[in-house]
Amino acid sequence: MSRLYGLLMFPLYLQVFGYHEIPNSNSTQPATIAVLVYPDIVLQNVSSRFLSVTIDTRTLKKNWEHLNISSPKVQALARGLSPVYLRIGGTLEDFLYFHDDSSALENVNDILKPFNITGHKIDSLFKFSNSVHWDVVFGLNMLNRRHGRWDADNAVRLLQYIAKKGYPVAALELGNEPDVYQLILPHRPDPTILGSDFSYLRSIMDQIPHFKGTKLVGPDVTNLCVTQSSYKNFFKKYLDAAHTSLDAVTLHQYYLDGKYAKLSQFYDVAVMDYLEKELASANDILRNHAPGKKLWLGETSAAWDSGAANVSNSYVAGFLWLDKLGLAAKYGVEIVMRQDFYGGNYGLIQYKNLDPNPDYWLSLLFKTLVGGPVFETVALDPTNHIRVYTHCTNLRRTKYGPGAMTVYFLNVFSKKTVAVDFPKYSNQIVHLYLLEPADEMGLKSRNVKLNGIPLHLLNNNQLPSFKPKPQRLPVLIPPLTFGFIVLPNANARPCYI
C-alpha cells in the first residue's frame, strides 16, 4: 500500500470513521487525523546503529578542547546512545598528518593548514570509544597527493599504528566532500582519479590483516540537489570508478545555511520535503552507478557552518532531526550520522558545560523505543503537517512484548492541536511519549520535558527512565510538538522476530 493509496482512501475513512477535515484557524475543535499503518509492508530493517554520531576532526586537532572525554557525565551520555558508529572526519581530515612519536610537535595553525596528530591522541580516541562501546569510522587525508595521485605513505603509517595497538576500526573513509574541493584547491580534481584512490586504499587494507574486516565507505559528497548538473555528474563518475571497492556510499546532507537560517524554517514542511527529493535522487544514482550498495548519511544536521546559534541546539531543531530519521528509514538509508555529538551549534551535548541539548534526549528516546522493521505509514492529512513514521518497538531496550509498534510523529501546525487516531487499533491503550519545551523560551528552549516532566541527568550522572502516559485513542498532540506513541498490543507479525 502506498502513500498515494492512503490519500485516495481519505474520503472513505472520513465517512466510515466520522473524521472531519482540519478545521479553519478560527475553530477550537481539534481535528482528528487517521493514521494508517501497514505492518505487512516492510520498507527496510534498520540496525541498532541506524542513528549514529560524529565528532569533527577539528575537535581532534584541538586536543578535545572543552570535551573532557574522561568525564563521567560525558561517558554516561555517550553510553546511553550505544551502539553507534562514531565518525571522525570533516573538512580538516584532508589536512591531517599522523606522527607516531608522542612527543612530536602538534601544529595548531589556522584552519585549512596541515596539522599533526600523534599516537597519544589516537590512543585517547580509542580509549574513549572503547569505554563507551562506540565503533570508530575514521576519515583519511585524500589531499596528501603527489603528481595528481594520492600519496598513501602517511595513511599507511597511521593504519599500521592502529593495527599494532589492536584498536578496532569499523570503517575507513578517504576524503571529505570532494565535489567541493574547488573551494580549497585551484580546481576540482578528476572524479575518476579520486575514485580509483579507493581501490588503492582497499588493496592496502587487504595487506594489513587487522583491516580485513573493516568497511570502506565514501565518497562523502554533498550538494546533490543543487541546480548545477555538474555535482550529480561528479558523483556518478566517482561511483563508476569506486563502487566496487566500497561497502557503502556516503552522502552529506544539510537543509540550511547556519548563518541565515530562520526559526520558522526548522518546522517548515517545504524544508523537510527537500530531503525526500535528495534521497530519491541519491537512490536513483546508486541504482545505476553503484548497484547493490547501501546509502549512508555520513554527516548530517539541520544547518551547515556549525549550525544556527541558539536555534539548531534548541528544542525546535528536533523537528528536522526526527523527520530526517523517519525519511531516511523510509528511503532505505542504512546509517544516519548526526553532526555532531559535541561541537558547534548543533552538538547533542552543550559546549563547555557538557549538558545534553534537546536533540540528545530525542536521540536517546529514538534509540530506546525504535526497532528494526520500518512500515509503510500514511497520515490522512492533505496538508502534510502531521508527519508519522512507524517501526517495530525496540524490545531489547524496553519492557514491551513482541508485536509492539512505535510510531513517531510531528505536529508542525503552529496553532492547532490535532487528535491522532489509528483506526485498526482504536480500542487499544497506547503509550504516549510527548516532548515539549520545558521553559518559557519555547521553541528556543535548551530544556525539554517528557509528558510534562523535565528531563535531566540524575545524581551520579545517571540517565533517567522514560515513563509513558498510557491512554486511549485518539491521542491529542499539541501544536509544534513531536514524540512517540507505542502500540503495545499491535500484534504486528514482523515485530515477533
Summarised one tens digit per residue, pLDDT across range 321-374 is 999 999 999 999 999 999 999 989 999 999 889 999 999 999 999 999 999 999
Q: Contact 138/337 with Cβ under 8 angstroms?
A: no
- Residue 65 has a pLDDT of 82
- 218 shares its domain with 312: yes
Q: What is the CATH number of the domain that holds 474?
A: 2.60.40.1180
Q: Contact 55/341 with Cβ under 8 angstroms?
A: yes
- 194 shares its domain with 229: yes
- Residue 3 has a pLDDT of 39
Per cent of the chain over pLDDT 90 is: 83
- 338 shares its domain with 224: yes
Q: Which residue has the cell 572543552?
A: 66
- 422 shares its domain with 466: yes
- 34 shares its domain with 57: no
- Residue 223 has a pLDDT of 81
Residue 274 carries which side chain, given as an amino acid letter? Y
The pTM for the full model equals 0.93
What's the rounded mean pLDDT across residues 60-71?
89
What's the rounded mean pLDDT across residues 399-414?
97
Q: What is the grid cell recorded at 301?
A: 544536521
**Listed range (123-137, 162-176, 214-228, 353-367) with the worst mean pLDDT:** 214-228
Check residues 283 and 11 and name the one with the higher pLDDT.
283
By annotation, the residues acting in catalysis are 177, 299
- 333 shares its domain with 473: no
Instruction: Indicate whether 131 pLDDT > 80.
Output: yes
**Would you place residue 100 in the very low, low, confident or very high pLDDT band (cuts 50, 70, 90)?**
confident
Instruction: Indicate whether 233 pLDDT > 60.
Output: yes
**Would you place residue 16 in the very low, low, confident or very high pLDDT band (cuts 50, 70, 90)?**
very low
42 burial via Cβ count (<10 Å: 0-12, 13-18, 19+): middle
**Would you place residue 497 in the very low, low, confident or very high pLDDT band (cuts 50, 70, 90)?**
confident
Per cent of the chain over pLDDT 70 is: 92
- 308 shares its domain with 320: yes
Instruction: Indicate whether 11 pLDDT > 70.
Output: no
Instruction: Indicate whether 245 pLDDT > 80.
Output: yes
- Residue 407 has a pLDDT of 98
What's the rounded mean pLDDT across residues 148-170?
97
pLDDT tens profile 468-495: 999 999 999 999 999 999 999 999 999 9
Residue 181 carries which side chain, given as an amino acid letter? Y
Strand partners, 392: 405
**Would you place residue 12 in the very low, low, confident or very high pLDDT band (cuts 50, 70, 90)?**
very low
- Give one DSSP letter per residue of 444-476, joined into a string: G-S-EEETTEE---BGGGBPPP---EEEESSEE
Check residues 88 and 226 and name the one with the higher pLDDT.
88
Closest CA to 117 of 136, 134, 141: 141
**Would you place residue 110 in the very low, low, confident or very high pLDDT band (cuts 50, 70, 90)?**
low
- 136 shares its domain with 32: no
What's the rounded mean pLDDT across residues 15-37?
65
What are the CA-CA distances from residue 218 to residues 83, 139, 190 (Å)? 21, 9, 16
Instruction: Indicate whether 281 pLDDT > 70.
Output: yes
Contacts of 304 (CB under 8 A, 6+ apart): 254, 256, 257, 258
User: What's the mean pLDDT when you consider all of the chain?
Assistant: 91
Q: Which helix (H) or strand (E) holds 419?
A: strand 418-421
- Residue 18 has a pLDDT of 44
Q: At what angle do helices 191-207 and 229-242 cross, to 10 degrees?
A: 30
Instruction: Indicate whether 106 pLDDT > 60.
Output: no
Q: CA neighbours within 13 Å on the CB side: how many for 23? A: 13
- Residue 63 has a pLDDT of 84
Residue 229 carries which side chain, given as an amino acid letter? S
What's the rounded mean pLDDT across residues 143-147?
93
Instruction: Indicate whether 117 pLDDT > 50.
Output: yes
Check residues 224 and 399 and name the one with the higher pLDDT.
399
- 55 shares its domain with 148: yes
- Give one DSSP letter per residue of 162-201, joined into a string: HHHHT---SEEEE-S-GGGGGGTSSSPPPHHHHHHHHHHH
| Structural domain harbouring 100 | 51-372
Q: Contact 431/416 with Cβ under 8 angstroms?
A: no
Instruction: Indicate whether 25 pLDDT > 50.
Output: no
Q: Contact 356/463 with Cβ under 8 angstroms?
A: no
- 345 shares its domain with 320: yes
What's the rounded mean pLDDT across residues 157-169?
98
Spatial separation of the C-alpha atoms in residues 142 and 378, rounded to whole Å: 43
**Would you place residue 102 in the very low, low, confident or very high pLDDT band (cuts 50, 70, 90)?**
low
- Residue 24 has a pLDDT of 46
Contacts of 241 (CB under 8 A, 6+ apart): 191, 192, 193, 194, 195, 196, 198, 199
Q: Of 372, 387, 403, which residue is a domain's last?
A: 372
Total domains, the chain:
2
Spatial separation of the C-alpha atoms in residues 283 and 287, rounded to whole Å: 6
- Residue 184 has a pLDDT of 86
- Residue 1 has a pLDDT of 37
Q: Contact 98/104 with Cβ under 8 angstroms?
A: no
Q: CA neighbours within 13 Å on the CB side: how many for 297? A: 30
- Residue 383 has a pLDDT of 92
Q: Contact 431/490 with Cβ under 8 angstroms?
A: no
- 34 shares its domain with 101: no
Catalogue the E-assigned strands of 301-384: 303-304, 335-338, 370-379
* Strand bridging mode 85-89 / 135-140: parallel
Instruction: Indicate whether 97 pLDDT > 80.
Output: yes
Upstream peptide bond of 356 is cis (omega within 30 degrees of 0)? no
What's the rounded mean pLDDT across residues 127-152?
96
3-state secondary structure of 441: coil
**Would you place residue 111 in the very low, low, confident or very high pLDDT band (cuts 50, 70, 90)?**
low
Q: Of 324, 340, 372, which residue is a domain's last?
A: 372
Q: CA neighbours within 13 Å on the CB side: how many for 323? A: 28
Q: Which residue has the cell 547533542?
A: 348
3-state secondary structure of 481: strand
Q: Contact 455/404 with Cβ under 8 angstroms?
A: no
Q: Contact 330/394 with Cβ under 8 angstroms?
A: no
The DSSP call for residue 411 is E
Q: What is the CATH number of the domain that holds 243?
A: 3.20.20.80
The DSSP call for residue 43 is E
Spatial separation of the C-alpha atoms in residues 361 and 25, rounded to whole Å: 32
Contacts of 284 (CB under 8 A, 6+ apart): none
What's the rounded mean pLDDT across residues 50-56?
97
- Residue 227 has a pLDDT of 67
- 206 shares its domain with 334: yes
Alpha helix locations (H) across 107-259?
Answer: 119-131, 153-165, 191-207, 229-242
Q: Of 334, 354, 372, which residue is a domain's last?
A: 372
Radius of gyration of the chain, Cα coordinates, nearest whole angstrom: 23
